Amino acid sequence: MSNSTLNIIKIGGNVIDDDIQLEAFLEKFAAIPGKKILVHGGGKIATRIAAKLDIEAKMIDGRRVTDESMLDVVTMVYAGLTNKKIVAKLQKYQCDAIGLSGADGNVIKSVKRPVREIDYGFVGDILADSVNTLAIKKFLDAGFTPVFSAITHNGVGQLLNTNADTIASALSTCLSRLYETSLIYCFEKNGVLADISDDNSVIESITAKKFEDYKQKGIISDGMIPKLENAFDAINKGVKSVYIGNAANLHLFQQQKFGTCLVNK
């Protein structure tokens, strides 16, 4: 493994939807030294544009159903409008970014999610060997900062809408074979909270053992459970550490004071 470090940062949709927050976040992201990757979703922009085109946006349990028409919209918005706006703003801060979907350079392949109780349409699931780490390494070694949209492909010409959290996790686990990798999830909360009603009740560090204890006591519940399960899965597969915190505080990451740190001890 190379001695180089790599930070993979995923930015949530609520920040993308707010131009002021996004600008502030990207300035902080650009200031992080060394090799880094940004992963983003699409926020609510795709839903707004779909409405203008008289295309109905369908959501089930917070997950987007992507039929053929919606796939066109999310591809235009995620891999086009949103991705290129982010790349252009990063150039403003002297961060030489390059916007990518999974199809570009064949960097991330996925498979269409099988239909079980629900047909999610053209949604991609990433397999363990689906990330082209050597291609991504070429971008990083050339001095570029890859910016990944939430669009992948199946290798035979079909684009697929793919969860951005999943893309960030897959990138971190695969690239941890080449770099000492940290994964940072940025969203609107200050971290994992001991009291959901108190934004200052951040749990600074969580081990797998503590996570099980917090679940049993109900301190960690609902949507935070799968997020942390995915995070510990990444740690078990070689990722050095996972951070979860507020996008506005990303500048504190270099001082290791950012949000909640998940570690394997």
Binding site for substrate: residue ranges? 42-43, 64, 161
- For residue 143, with 0-12 CB atoms within 10 Å meaning exposed, 13-18 middle and 19 or more buried, which class applies? exposed
Under the phi-then-psi rule, with left for phi > 0, alpha for psi from -120 to 50, and beta for the rest, what region is 89? alpha
Amino acid occupying residue 17: D
- End-to-end CA, the chain: 21
Closest alpha carbon to 175 in 137, 145, 149, 148: 137
Alpha carbon separation from 172 to 42, 130, 175, 237 (Å, rounded): 20, 12, 5, 9
Closest alpha carbon to 28 in 255, 242, 262, 202: 255
Q: Residue 246: what are its φ and ψ, rounded to 5°?
A: -80, 130
What is the CA 109 to chain-centroid distance, rounded?
16
Binding residues: 42-43, 64, 161
**CA torsion 24→25→27→29, rounded to 10°?**
170
